[in-house]
Structures are given as structure tokens and as C-alpha cells.
Structure 1
Amino acid sequence: MKNRNSTSDFILLGLLINSKATGIVFAVIFTIFVVAVTANLVMIFLIHVDSRLNTPMYFLLSQLSIMDTVFICTTVPKLLVDMVSKEKTISFVACGTQLFLYLTMIGSEFFLLGLMAYDRYVAVCNPLRYPVLMNRRVCLLMAAGAWFGGFLDGFLITPITMNFPYCGSQSINHFFCEIPAVLRLACADTSLYETLMYICCVLMLLIPISIVSTSYSLILLTIHRMRSAEGRKKAFTTCSSHLTVVSIFCGAAFYIYVLPQSFHTPEQDKVVSAFYTIVTPMLNPLIYSLRNKDVLRAFKKRFVQCLSAQKVSTNDA
């Protein structure tokens, strides 16, 4: 059979196949996409311009917003175009690029979420040493480490995945080039590679989850010993937001990459993938902003300034 490694396009079957609800689903996904990109860009802007948000926690949060913006832009625009067009093809190079960006972002988020847990541990358990332990240089190194870890993940896995011979069917039963869906088209034995990838995914999940578990165990002990009810409430609110994000993101990734394929179908994979590639990037900034008084205060301040500036310009006109 003819090798299709670089001579033919793939066909993405999409999120829904032969569904009459395509219009409604398109509207929902488009709305989520706009909200997610807008919310993340607003978070990045507020953290950059507001002096009260120039802290290590918000610096790491701005990195998460950058990752989420790139993450959702990697898959959703192509999905939306495919939903309104008859041609649902994606070139071999575009598929590899999408796979690389996806792996880089998901790997970077894993490491960053673990480092954010460490940041909360230092803030709650060692508040007096926080400025020293989480200085600007340390924050930059943490962010660079998270990005490098994700890049390494994408750089190692993408070439191997795309170098398998793909022959016969071109149809990927997914709405983007995700590894399990792409490998189903390979006409070579991928069992060894899938085993190695499984071990890699487990390790990538264990590292941040271990950091998160250890950090929050120590945080809970510290919160329990606090005498101030206000201090306990503030610490618990900040930490619960981060734990919510970690649980959603890592839980979905665990389902796709760690749980054996025999326990889920391609259709279930698409639903779970849609949740953490489309919904999660929208939830992250909303979870942090709606439960954070500093972010809400900064947003109200900038909103009032914009209204005042607009009012002045209108009066001058």
C-alpha cells in the first residue's frame, strides 16, 4: 500500500459526525473560544499593568494564561473552519505542527501547575521567607523550566509519531491531530512506542501531581494551625482555585493518556479532549478571577478608567 507520510493530506472527521446539531455546537464552541481568548488576554494585561499584581503568583498565572491562549488557538480555529466547510483536510506538515504545539502546551501546563503549587506552599507555610525564596530570578527560572519541559515533550514525541508509515485510510476520527487518533492509522507495529509513551505520560503526570500533593498536604496542616479565621479563609480560597484547575486538567489527561484504550472509545476520547482543550482554557482565568479580589479590583479599576477616558473624549468632541 502507498505510504502517505508526506504525499497526502489527512482528513479530520471532526467532533460530530453527521449531526444535525452542528450549527448549535458551532455557536457554543465559538462563544467559548471568544470568551477564553478574551479572558486570558485580559488576565495577561491586568497582571502586566497593575502594580498590585506584580507578584510571583500572578507572574506564574500570566504564564498559564499565555499557555491557555496558545493551547486553544492550536485546535479550535481549525475545528470551527472544518464545521462550516466541506473540505476537512489537514496537511501532513500542519498535522505535525498542530501535534507539536499541542504537546508543548499540555506539557508546559503540567509542569507550571506543579510549580504554582510550590509557590502557594512557600506563601502559606513560609511567608517571611517568601520574597527570598520566590524572587524574580527564581520565578523566571520556574517559567523557563516549565516552557522547556513542554518543548522537550513536543520535540521528542512529534518526530517519532509522524515518522510512522501511514497508509490506507486517511481519516482521523478526531477534531485535531491527537496522538492516539493518529496512531490508529499507522500500518506498522506501534505497541512498543505506545508503551514508552505511556511510561512517559505517567512520569509527566506523577511529577506535578507529587509536587501538588506534597505542597497542599503541608498547606492544609499550616491552615489548620492558623488562629486567624480571615487568614484561613484567604489561604483556602487561593489554594482551592488552583486545586480545581489541577483536578480538571490532570484528570482529563489521565483519562486520555494513562487509562488503557480498552476502557474508552474514540467518541469518548473526543468528548474528553474537547473538554480540556476547549473548556479548560476558558475556565482557568474565570476560576482565578472570579474568586480573587485582587484581580476583580484591578479589573474594576481599569474599567472605570476606560469609561472616564471615553466620557472625556466624548465631551471634548
Structure 2
Amino acid sequence: MASHRRPTQPGLGQSTRVTVLSAAAATAAAAFAAPASADPADSGKARVDRLFAQAEKATEEYDKADERAGELRRQVRDAQDSVARGQERINRMRGALGAIAGAQYRSGGLDPSLALLLSENPDSYLDKAAALDRLSERQSTQLRELQQEMRRIGQQRTEATRKLAELERSRVEVARHKRTVESKLAEARRALNALPTADRAAFDRASRGGGRTPDLGGAVPASGRAAAAVLAARQALGRPYIWGANGPSGFDCSGLMQWSYAQAGVGLPRTSQAQRYAGHQVPLSEARPGDLVVYRADASHVAMYVGNGQVIHAPYPGAPVRYDPVGMMPVSSVTRV
């Protein structure tokens, strides 16, 4: 898996900004950006677009929280396994010391120092030098190892308890983001259904995409892994947008990027905000196939550049993975993985 490199962060040049803004203006109707017109239908389309954008931002927050919850689940499982293994070691050590105690008892008496075997907490007894003086060197070593192991297991139990509490807080956060996403999507659907019939039909046509492969101009990817990621992204064309999904049957925007690069053997972080730092940034004017194009100031959407001013991306619920112009919305940065 490729390592994540903290990139340099050059700003987009002025000429690039002009290009991006011009392209965005040329495709504003398809993207349903808010126009200057006071037409109520236009305002309705702008509201639908804004709600989908808010839902996408909430989806990225959900992805981040869900990824953290998954990592915490692994940590809790590892901590619990470690505690269980440690307890087995303690039981074996107690068994060995118990055998010594039994032998001493049968031979005429139990060394008082071995009475600690009857206690769950030998610390206070072991700390007394007089007790250790009555033990053989081997017994003393075994008892100190038992003491150390019990302390270590106690610390691990405390850490596991802390991780469990953090996991529960993370689950609450995941549920909260899920409710936000579902609320925004429901509001967007209501706004979409309220559009005039002709505007709703136009939105539906745009959501289905053209279905044709654009002229990609023979652009060359920056690396073999980028070429493999582009090939994977093309294989995903037509698959549905499913919020929180990272393939292979459906995707959200960052899930498509993560899945595509995984097919190339490269591990990307889960969210678009983190993916923008998964390589080094380049000017939009130098974008090559496989580069990640991150949109909006909050980096809430990401697509893959494929050449000749086109990207592949998972747009929003109801729209399949498709090609669109790179300037479909304001570009925040371009990252070469």
C-alpha cells in the first residue's frame, strides 16, 4: 500500500482560477448552480443543488466518524484479546507457584510468603523485603514476574474500558451524522419533487448523464498506479451513488476514489478532506489522468481527472457514476497520488 505523503500546497494560479470559473459558468445549468435570475424555478433548482451539497458534506462527516468507529472496534478487540492472553499467563504462573506451595505443605509447612497465592493482589505482601528474604531466588523471581504481569493486565483492562467508552461516543456521532444525511436527502427529494414538471425532467435527464464516453484526448496518466486507478474508475461507470459506500456495487464520491486506487494497490484515506493530502498538489492546468480533483472550499466532493477537461465521479443520490466536465463546480485543489 502506498504511504500517505504530506504535500506541498501551492495555490491555484490566476490563469487557472479564470479557467475554472469560466468552465463552472459554462456548466452552471447542468450543476444547478444558483443563477442571477429571480425565476422561482431557477431558485428551486438552486435549492436542490444546495441541499445535495449539504447532504454530501454530511456524508463525508459520516464516513469519517464511521472509519474512526471501525478503528476503535479493532483496538477494543485487540485490547480484549491481550487481556485474555495475559490472564492465561497469570493463571499459569499461579499454577506453578501453587505447586511449590503444595510441595512445601506436604513436606511439613507452608512458607508464609506463599500465602499471597490466596490473594488477588499480592503487591502489599511482595513489597515487604522480609517476605522476599524467606523465598528462594527462583521463587522470588516468579513472584515478581507475577506481580508485574498483574499490574500490566490491570493497565490493559483500564485501557480497554477507556476504548469502549470512546467507541460508544463514536457510535453516537455516527448515528448523528447519519440522521443529518438522511434529513438533508429527504429535504432535497421534497424540493426536487416540488419543481415544475419540465425542470424535474431536465434534472432527471442530467442525473442519468449522457451515457457516452467523451473524447479524453489521449492524455497520459502520471504513473502506472494512476493508470490502473483510472481503469478501475471507468469500470464503475453507471453504478449508483450510495452514501457511505465504497464499492464495489455502489459508491459515494470519496468511496469511489478509495476503491479505484485500492484496485491499483494504493491505500487512500476514506474522506475527500483527507484524500486531498494523499499525495502532492499540482495546478489544475497540469492535471493528468488519475489525479484527484477536490471541490468546494470545504473539500466536500472529490472526482478523478481522466483527461481533456473531464472527470469521473459519483455525483449525488439518484445519479450514477459518470463523466462530467472538471469545471462542474469550484475546484479547491488537485492532488497527484
Normalised TM-score (structure 1): 0.29
Query: Which has a greater percent of helix?
Result: 1
In our comparison, the structure showing a higher alpha carbon Rg is: 2
Query: Which has a greater percent of strand?
Result: 2
Normalised TM-score (structure 2): 0.28
